[in-house]
Structure 1
Amino acid sequence: MPIIQFPKDMKWGTATAAYQVEGAAFEDGRSLSIWDTFSHTPGNVKNGDNGDVACDSYHRYPEDIDLLDQLGAKVYRFSVSWPRIYPNGTGELNPKGLNYYHKLVDRLVEKGIEPMLTLYHWDLPQSLQDQGGWANRDTVDAFSQYAETIFSEFNGKVKYWQTINEPLCAAFLSNYQGVHAPGFTDLQLAVDVSHHLVLAHGRAVKLFRDLGIEGQIGTATNTTWREPFSQKPEDMEACRREIGHNIDWFLDPIFKGEYPPYLVEWFKNKGAELHVEEGDMEIIQQPIDFIGVNYYSGNVARYKKDTGLLDIENIEIDYDQTYIEWPIYADGLYKVFHYLAERYGPIPLFITENGACCRDELVNGKVMDQNRVKYYQQHLTAVSRAIESGIPIIGYLAWSLLDNFEWAEGYGKRFGLVYVDFQTLERKKKESYYWYKKVIANGWMEI
């Protein structure tokens, strides 16, 4: 069998998000987030599921960190729950919320696991949403206060920082498609929110530099790949729009100081104007240390008028699919790496999410998730190909450590290396956990 070797300094680990794993939704001063409100509204989440308990990591974090330690993880990416820190979004600080994250971070450091702290993974305080949410520029100010608090509290303990996770989802899935909290369907709103998210990112990075915070800071970007069905200009342009909507719209302002004109024009033709105030782009264009790459799927696609926002349709070409019905297209990850390198130069890349949803079943105390192992093998091969091609990839984080609350899908879709019984909250290591542990320990894998 061929051996795929990885660099000795590769940073291996896993990732989670606060609302998906913590639970304890109404404890120790935490207030409602938009996801509490959204998930408790009938019809928004499958089976009426919500994150009230989730994996109960708020209480079981020592057990979960032991799982990371036994895995051999070098890095653990988690997010801070904004409404735990500032229950009103701004104003009065909640010491109990801060204390939880200090205990979490201290235990990670004690185990030799580097914390990667994400400031925002979609759980906006409901009190801010009541004032307009991310459509209101005041939320950018509130985020800056929150970010400054977290930077100051964890300076020296945390070396890897991320500002905003997957702004495409927070803007468009949440405010145009309406499938994520807060659940609106307004393109102008989505475009406004997208700009304020990028602005909040820029403000946070500037604060990070001004405060002299230790470590490296980046963002975590949705990525995908669309291979044109044909060489027709309309097919190629449609695929460019899809890739660019994920990547260019959110990274061009940071690296180029402008939004991609072709998408500005596209949204304008769809009825949504981009509103940028004087000085915004200067703030946004703060140098970052790495790009966080979140990748799950890709496809072959072509132009089709009046299909979705971008006039594009996917063509299923006999790809295997994960249980959430996303095509498995590992070559797309390899192409994304090259796309980022060609568009933004030799900035380090950190795979901050990559993983597969499988129909996991606990049989005789075991979960034999060979489909997930195969998915990881395919995508880690793409990672190795990119490294061998000279692209600076510094780490890989599997999504996710635990089965968890999968947003609008509820608890029916599992991504974890560890199986969670959502009745008893018992954890069971899956076959993929043991496989990944070997990869981390060896620094290579067989394919």
Structure 2
Amino acid sequence: MLDPFATSGVSPREFPPDFVWGAATAAYQIEGAVAEDGRTPSIWDTFAARPGAVRRGETGEVACDHYHRSTEDVALVRDLGVGAYRFSISWPRVLSGRDGALNARGAAFYDRLVDDLLAADVDPWVTLYHWDLPQHLENAGGWPARDTAERFADLAAAVGDLLGDRVGHFITLNEPWCSAFLGYGSGIHAPGVRDGAAAVAASHHLLLGHGLAVDALRATAPGARVGITLNLYPVTGVDEASADLARRIDGLQNRWFLDPVLLGTHPADVVADLGPLLPDGLVRDGDLDVTSRPLDFLGVNYYTRHVVRPSAYPGTNAVEFGHRDLPSAANGWEVDPDGLTEILVRVARDYPSLPLVVTENGSAWADRVAADGTVDDPDRLAYLATHLAACARAREQGADVAGYFAWSLLDNFEWAEGYDMRFGLVHVDFATQRRTVKTSGEWYARFVGAAREILTP
């Protein structure tokens, strides 16, 4: 019989029976209800309210209204046929105010969500932190302050107590590079700080908080599997003259996070590159033992490759990100599935053996709703197919790729881009909150369904 997926370059037969198929979201991007049931402000509420911070001044105040429509959205996940759904906990919804007490009403939302997912035969994968630090903790110093790592451990313990009897997979942090260097370095993400030293301090305290959270989850949810999600990208110089620049960018983007988590060290060349931005006393004795707590899996978020060249302005440290004449998504990111294979194989080769789960992978396109209400998105479908094929190639080359989560289940609030960039398998009309499964979502559902049918004994 002709394989119906052969023309897309990937077959469900290329994945093992225990492969995890999923879709992913994040709390601030979909939940809305930012002032309901005891939720307090986060840094993203504050940042989005700042004039000019987010395109057209849009905010996550309503977003996809998931807080009120979670039952509908769980049904969408069930109908896609995926076996897993990755979502994040809103820290200011679960722990209220400066005392860090459990907010029972906010906690009840996640309690119900997990029960609904399990009733739909969907495995919940819970991310503890997807960028929505409570504003009162930012006021006290934020991630550049060491105490925030301890407060994050409090969140992990609370969520472990709340959900650990039913949740089998926890992810501590999502993309700490973004939290540190976009939030405190360039300032294009919340909290909008531009301070290189603060960004480096934040990067260390995020990973310290990760290790402390692993300890808290091991204590409160001993049966769960625990990991972290890093956004990893191959870094390529445009020419030989760009080789050292590529090394520096790779060091700060990838190895600055991989090495403390998986090796318990800091890469010496990056320490040298950072110089005075890495102050004495930031890393204390025993810290790297904490950041490298043993994990059960590593989450990898991948969207594109970084292609770099030195700035056209001599004497500056600026970097220009180039292109290689590949197709680009609506946000300008090149479509480069080979980069996903490359980074997965590299991690498997250079670091201790660990299952790798692609916890985010997706693309933004200028979707249009047809007159009949359908949303045909062939570019996103092709992106999914070629990147699933990239995962299969990585497995062939020895990487233990154990799962794949499409980003995203829903069109949502895309951070500083507001609602312009649509990544969803499901189209959301933000005026009416109507959900429509796109062609890509239908294809993904058929692919996952075929995988289950082929692999079921």
TM-score (norm 2): 0.93
Whether 1:198 aligns to 2:207 is yes
Whether 1:36 aligns to 2:45 is yes
Superposition pairs of residues 12-23 of structure 1, within 5 angstroms: 12-23=21-32
C-alpha change, 1:97 and 1:309, in structure 2 (3 Å) is farther
C-alpha change, 1:414 and 1:389, in structure 2 (3 Å) is same
The equivalent position to 2:127 in structure 1, one of 115, 118, 136, is 118
The equivalent position to 2:233 in structure 1, one of 215, 218, 224, is 224
Deviation readout 1:61-84 (Å, 9 max, x if unpaired): 010000000000111000000001
2:165, 2:221 within 8 Å by CA — same for their partners in 1? no
State the one-letter code of the partner of 2:449.
A
2:411, 2:428 within 8 Å by CA — same for their partners in 1? yes
Equivalent residue, structure 2, for 1:399: 407
C-alpha change, 1:159 and 1:306, in structure 2 (3 Å) is farther
Deviation readout 1:258-285 (Å, 9 max, x if unpaired): 111111111116x443620122112112
Root-mean-square deviation (Å): 1.9
C-alpha change, 1:308 and 1:41, in structure 2 (3 Å) is farther
State the one-letter code of the partner of 2:49.
H
The equivalent position to 1:238 in structure 2, one of 227, 237, 245, is 245
- Give the SS at the match of 2:22: strand
- Give the SS at the match of 2:362: coil
Whether 1:412 aligns to 2:420 is yes
Equivalent residue, structure 2, for 1:439: 447
1:19, 1:123 within 8 Å by CA — same for their partners in 2? yes
Cα offset for 1:304? 4.4
Equivalent residue, structure 2, for 1:343: 350
C-alpha change, 1:432 and 1:51, in structure 2 (3 Å) is same
Cα offset for 1:257? 1.3
Which structure 2 residue ranges, 5 or more long, are not aligned? 1-6, 453-457
Runs of 4+ in 1 over 6 A off after TM superposition: 305-310
Cα offset for 1:358? 0.5
The equivalent position to 1:297 in structure 2, one of 304, 307, 310, is 304
Cα offset for 1:303? 4.1
Superposition pairs of residues 34-433 of structure 1, within 5 angstroms: 34-88=43-97, 90-211=99-220, 213-230=222-239, 232=240, 234-268=241-275, 271-273=277-279, 275-304=282-311, 312-363=319-370, 364-433=372-441
C-alpha distance in 1 between matches for 2:217 and 2:156: 9
C-alpha distance in 1 between matches for 2:438 and 2:316: 39
Give aligned pairs, total: 442
Deviation readout 1:380-434 (Å, 9 max, x if unpaired): 1110101122211111000000000000000111000000001011101100010
C-alpha distance in 1 between matches for 2:139 and 2:208: 20
State the one-letter code of the partner of 1:273.
P
Cα offset for 1:343? 1.7
Task: Report % sequence identity.
Answer: 43
Cα offset for 1:178? 0.5
1:83, 1:124 within 8 Å by CA — same for their partners in 2? yes
- Give the SS at the match of 2:383: helix
State the one-letter code of the partner of 2:451.
G
- Give the SS at the match of 1:391: coil
- Give the SS at the match of 2:230: strand
C-alpha change, 1:310 and 1:428, in structure 2 (3 Å) is farther
2:164, 2:221 within 8 Å by CA — same for their partners in 1? no
C-alpha change, 1:310 and 1:262, in structure 2 (3 Å) is farther
C-alpha change, 1:3 and 1:328, in structure 2 (3 Å) is closer
C-alpha distance in 2 between matches for 1:313 and 1:166: 22
C-alpha distance in 2 between matches for 1:378 and 1:17: 24
